[in-house]
């Protein structure tokens, strides 16, 4: 029988949904996952990867990558549409309040170049011994670790057009290993700090719903958001997602226009920055709506739920999209680069975290989770040592993104310098050394590098 409509995209989405639901079940039932706080999306993604790799299920890796790319863009657009209240009002606030976000941004200014330098040098080493790695192979380490799966996929896919075969799969593999560092190293680090009495608001015991991942039926539930539309007219969720759709179309038009103006190489790279243009346009749309008096129609609570939804499915899809056959081909350089970068990142973050003025453990685990996974990973680790977010660190990590933007965007261009501007791998790595040295110097100059606290 001929099926009258194409079902493959929704079959792929349904497969991801099933894996996510199984991940939720396993998180609720398996103590191992609770001990290391593995999020359900990570569990489900790994399970999906295993089932695909063993031939139990057949899902298109190309469609999974496509879903992941668009989930990534949606998450940033939703962030741009979300009013963050005190965070935005405090950007120009007191010097004390700004110090910690700047410190976190500078830590990223150390770890991201450090991971790039490690990857770049190891590419030279492996190629000396007969490997034929693409020049930017090692730069997928910071894209996967510090930037996360979305950037690793976006930039990796662009590099495939420049001759780097299977770059997206390699990038997603580094991102997955980064998550493993975030939880297998970050959780024990947080628990060690609690035992040592370093946590300011040390919890006696983590809430059961936090460990299990499911809120009991008799427990008071958090409010997801507020209705800004009358249900007799249009559903509020439909309106909130429609705004995302409008921003998506505007961003698509802008990126296509830039593609016609720029050189072919830069035009290809612009598609890897779709998420950034999307977030900027979303900010402009939100500002314009505020100016004409309809800004209140955007509900930040529901937009945050949309962001979380997109990130959960992003992680499921990126991990399921990994092609094990390709990973096995590069298993030695991937593991070598990932392990060395992970160890160095751990050492640097812990070393610098011990030497700040206050909330050492809270700020250390928060930025560690961010530099090995995503901001969500950092907040998850923070909740172990500060379950009720009584410290200002959760707010600080949100503000950190603002101050880290120049470093992140500059580095995302720099990792592509060998394919965009024909820079040598050695020169590009040397520029990363300069960024690392400058960030360390600023940490020292700004007096963020004090005596050891623990």
| Mean pLDDT score, 209-230 | 87
Report pLDDT for 84: 61
Question: What interhelical angle do 274-291 and 61-81 show, nearest 10?
Answer: 30
Q: Quick one: pLDDT at residue 453? A: 76
Three-state DSSP class for residue 82 = coil
pLDDT band at 213 (very low <50, low <70, confident <90, very high): confident
* Nearest partner of 152 among 416, 381, 400, 343, judged by Cα: 416
Q: Measured between alpha carbons, how far is residue 446 from residues 52, 196, 230 in Å?
A: 50, 28, 51
pLDDT at 450 over 80: yes
- Assign residue 163 a region: left if phi > 0, alpha if psi is -120 to 50, beta otherwise? left
- State how far the Cα of 75 lies from the Cα of 275, in Å rounded to an integer: 8
SS (H, E, C) 5-41: CCCHHHHHHHHHHHHHHHHHHHHHHCHHHHHCCCCHH
Rounded Cα distance between 383 and 370, Å, is: 13
Tens digit of each residue's pLDDT (9 = 90 or more) over 50-100: 999 998 999 989 999 999 999 999 998 998 898 765 545 544 455 656 889
The pLDDT value given to residue 94? 55
* CA nearest neighbour of 217 among 209, 227, 207: 209
For residues 412 and 417, give the distance between their C-alpha atoms in angstroms, rounded to a whole number: 9
d(CA 257, CA 73) in angstroms, rounded, equals 18
Q: Global pTM?
A: 0.89
The encoded tokens of residue 181 equal 């560092």
Q: From 222, 248, 233, 236, select the one nearest 296 (Cα to Cα).
A: 236
Residues 6+ apart with CB under 8 A from 307: 75, 78, 79, 82
- What are the pLDDT digits (tens) for 238-265? 999 999 999 999 999 999 999 889 888 7
Residue 365: pLDDT band with limits 50, 70, 90: very high
Cα(312)–Cα(327) distance, rounded to whole angstroms?
23
CA 353 to each of CA 10, 114, 349, 356: distance values in angstroms, whole numbers, following the listed order: 45, 16, 6, 6
Least confident of 17-21, 64-68, 245-249, 375-379: 375-379
Q: Which two tokens stand for residue 212?
A: 């299990």
Question: DSSP label at 55?
Answer: T
Neighbours of 77 (CB within 10 A): 32
Token pair recorded at residue 15 = 């497969």
Whether residue 188 is predicted with pLDDT greater than 70 in this model: the reply is: yes
Mean pLDDT of 268-285: 89
Cα separations (Å) of 427 from 417, 419, 434? 10, 13, 11
């Amino acid at each position: 029988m001929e099926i009258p409509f194409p079902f493959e995209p929704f079959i792929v989405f349904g497969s991801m949904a099933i894996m996510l639901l199984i991940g939720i079940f396993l998180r609720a039932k398996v103590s191992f996952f609770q001990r290391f706080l593995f999020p359900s999306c990570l569990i489900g993604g790994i399970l999906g990867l295993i089932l695909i790799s063993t031939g139990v299920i057949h899902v298109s890796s190309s469609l999974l990558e496509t879903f992941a790319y668009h989930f990534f863009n949606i998450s940033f657009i939703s962030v741009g549409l979300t009013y963050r209240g005190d965070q935005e009002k405090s950007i120009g606030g007191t010097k004390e309040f700004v110090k910690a976000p700047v410190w976190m941004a500078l830590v990223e200014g150390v770890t991201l170049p450090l991971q790039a330098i490690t990857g770049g040098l190891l590419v030279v080493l492996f190629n000396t011994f007969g490997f034929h790695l693409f020049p930017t192979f090692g730069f997928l380490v910071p894209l996967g670790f510090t930037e996360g799966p979305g950037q690793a996929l976006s930039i990796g896919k662009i590099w495939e057009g420049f001759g780097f075969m299977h770059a997206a799969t390699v990038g997603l593999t580094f991102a997955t290993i980064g998550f493993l560092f975030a939880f297998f190293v970050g959780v024990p680090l947080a628990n060690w700090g609690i035992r040592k009495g370093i946590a300011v608001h040390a919890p006696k015991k983590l809430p059961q719903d936090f460990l299990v991942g499911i809120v009991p039926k008799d427990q008071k539930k958090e409010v997801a958001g507020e209705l800004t539309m009358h249900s007799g007219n249009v559903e509020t969720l439909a309106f909130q997602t429609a705004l995302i759709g409008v921003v998506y179309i505007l961003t698509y038009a802008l990126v296509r226009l830039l593609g016609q103006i720029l050189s072919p190489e830069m035009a290809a790279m612009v598609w890897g920055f779709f998420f950034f243009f999307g977030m900027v346009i979303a900010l402009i749309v939100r500002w314009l709506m505020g100016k004409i008096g309809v800004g209140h129609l955007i509900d930040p609570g529901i937009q945050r739920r949309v962001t979380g939804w997109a990130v959960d499915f992003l992680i499921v899809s990126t991990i399921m999209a990994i092609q094990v056959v390709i990973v096995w081909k590069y298993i030695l350089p991937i593991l070598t680069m990932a392990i060395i970068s992970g160890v160095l990142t751990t050492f640097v973050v812990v070393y610098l975290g011990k030497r700040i003025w206050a909330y050492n453990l809270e700020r250390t685990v928060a930025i560690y989770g961010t530099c090995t996974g995503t901001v969500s990973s950092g907040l998850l680790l923070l909740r172990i040592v500060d379950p009720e977010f009584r410290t200002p660190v959760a707010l600080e990590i949100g503000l950190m993104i603002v101050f880290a933007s120049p470093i992140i965007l500059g580095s995302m261009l720099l990792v592509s310098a060998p394919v965009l501007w024909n820079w040598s791998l050695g020169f590009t790595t040397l520029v990363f050394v300069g960024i690392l040295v400058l960030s360390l110097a600023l940490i020292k100059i700004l007096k963020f590098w004090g005596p050891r606290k623990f």
